[in-house]
A = this chain, B = another copy of it.
Amino acid sequence: MKIFQKMNASIPREVRQTIRTSRWAGPTAGMAPGFVQANLVILPQDWAFDFLLFCQRNPRPCPLLEVTEPGDPEPRELAKGADLRTDLPLYRVYREGRLSEESTDIRGMWRDDLVSFLIGCSFTFESALMEESIPVRHVEMGVNVPMYVTTVPCRPAGRLRGPMVMSMRPIPAAMVARAVTATALFPAVHGAPLHVGEPKTIGIGDLSRPDYGDPVEIREGEVPVFWGCGVTPQAILMASGPPFAITHAPGHMFVSDKRNGEYAVF
């Protein structure tokens, strides 16, 4: 992959340090370009097997990059020395499946039985799309990607079940095939689209009203293309109601030391 030139390997660490020490609480889009960012889900060990199995059964919305040992806040594979309790700008805490609070630091609620799951994020494959001059509308518009709760069910696992959330990018009809192959090369970060065109068949009545994120313009000759979305775990937590869970706040990702290119098939 050509996307990944001349990047200073210390940049992600500096980003995490700034977030940690200044308690900066903004979104991470565009930070440490070229490096992998990740969604975060933290669950008690009692629920960890169900969630690990859920990810194995639903790799498109939930492509797992790393799972920590119980109680260990350091993601040793993605970023040695990082601390998942302080290094993301903003967290969400769920109790019994309901969003109970947001916080910039979760050290005070850390427990020895918490297992952290880091899940691939579409920022990686969007770099690959842009590298091929395929337009990414929400980036052009400077807004969040539109995300939709679909009628496609995830495959359940143990106590976890719920609908798949998909993100949508409008792609010029002549570039759809290229967008498929470019993203298929990144199965570790959602991979190829799950649905191309015909939003009604996955239960989306009005593209201008996404369930998460912002609406984007769809121009003449463009087709709505849908990818598995890392917000799916949050929909699953709300549908399944584990007693306690922590996630990143949407758009406020974990910035890792891995380069995007390391997750390409080739």
Contact = CB atoms under 8 A, between A and B. Distances in A.
Interface of A: 48-49, 52-53, 55-57, 64, 67, 69, 77, 155, 158, 180-181, 184-185, 187, 191-192, 265-266
Contacts of A53: 52, 67
24 contacts: A48-B49, A49-B49, A49-B52, A52-B52, A52-B56, A53-B67, A55-B56, A56-B56, A56-B64, A56-B67, A57-B67, A57-B77, A69-B158, A77-B155, A180-B266, A181-B266, A184-B265, A184-B266, A185-B265, A187-B187, A187-B265, A191-B265, A192-B266, A265-B265
A261 to B, nearest CB: 14
A134 to B, nearest CB: 17
Contacts of A48: 49
> What is the count of identical protomers in the complex?
2
Contacts of A191: 265
Contacts of A49: 48-49, 52
A66 to B, nearest CB: 8
Nearest to A191: B265
Contacts of A52: 49, 52-53, 56
Contacts of A158: 69
A57 B169 CA distance: 31
Contacts of A192: 265-266
Given A52-B52, A56-B56, A57-B77, 20 more contacts: A48-B49, A49-B49, A49-B52, A52-B53, A52-B56, A55-B56, A56-B64, A56-B67, A57-B67, A69-B158, A77-B155, A181-B266, A184-B265, A184-B266, A185-B265, A187-B265, A191-B265, A192-B265, A192-B266, A265-B265
A57 to B, nearest CB: 8
Contacts of A77: 57, 155
